[in-house]
Copies of this chain bind each other. A is one copy, B any other.
Amino acid sequence: MKKEFLDAKENALKSLHDACGHGKVDEGVLPILDLINKIEGFYTSSSCAGRIVLLQIPQIGDKRSARFLGIWHRTIEVDELRAASTKATTGLLWLLAQAPILHIGAETLQLADKMVKTAISCGFKNSAVKSLSKTIIIEICSTERLDAPIGRDACLFCDEKHLSLLVEISNEIIERSQEKIGRLTKKLTNFRDFP
């Protein structure tokens, strides 16, 4: 088990290093990933710092054909959303504001349980163990989100007032996400010291 875990960790760290080299890792999430990877018994897998997304989907549920018209790992202005929407063609337009998602491999169930409880105590209430077989994988995630259909076939269905509200709430989700990442980072610096 120990050897298997260490091999998995080595591969994960290599992938993370490569992804960083190609600019494929959200900078906002890198410090906490580094911190987790320094704790014995854990390694990080695919992770996202939280983001606002403008998505075009041909049909409901047809995520494979989804097209990203805009992705922002930060707060945005209404004009940026409007500008991104001019790239729309055919299909549904969704505005999404997504909290961070961290995937973490754990060496033992006990460590996995402790990490999930720590994350929940920092506001990541949707954290759970995603996989138990062979490798143990935890997902750290919170509940705030916005998933709003805002138009169809290149047409925005929202007036200025509504767009402002949607952007205001999306930005609030990003800000809260960053606060929670900060809280978890602080708590993880002495993860090994508390029971």
Interface residues of chain A, those whose CB is within 8 Å of chain B, are 60-61, 92, 109, 112-113, 116, 128-133, 139, 144-150, 152, 157-159, 161-162, 165-166, 169, 172, 176
Instruction: Tell me the nearest residue of chain B to A148, going by C-beta.
Output: B148
Q: Which residues of B sit under 8 angstroms from A109, Cβ to Cβ?
A: 109, 132
Q: Once bound together, how far apart are the Cα atoms of A152 and B161, in whole Å?
A: 10
B144 touches A146 (CB 8 A): no
Q: Which residues of B sit under 8 angstroms from A130, Cβ to Cβ?
A: 128-129
Q: Once bound together, how far apart are the Cα atoms of A84 and B112, in whole Å?
A: 43
Q: Which residues of B sit under 8 angstroms from A144, Cβ to Cβ?
A: 61
Query: 30 A-B residue contacts at CB 8 Å?
Result: A60-B169, A60-B172, A61-B172, A61-B176, A92-B165, A92-B169, A109-B109, A112-B132, A113-B131, A113-B132, A128-B128, A128-B129, A128-B139, A129-B130, A129-B132, A145-B145, A145-B147, A146-B147, A146-B148, A146-B149, A147-B147, A147-B148, A149-B165, A149-B166, A149-B169, A150-B162, A152-B165, A157-B158, A158-B158, A159-B159
Q: Once bound together, how far apart are the Cα atoms of A149 and B152, in whole Å?
A: 18
Q: Once bound together, how far apart are the Cα atoms of A158 and B161, in whole Å?
A: 10
Min CB distance A66 to B, Å, is 13
Q: Once bound together, how far apart are the Cα atoms of A92 and B147, in whole Å?
A: 15
Min CB distance A170 to B, Å, is 9
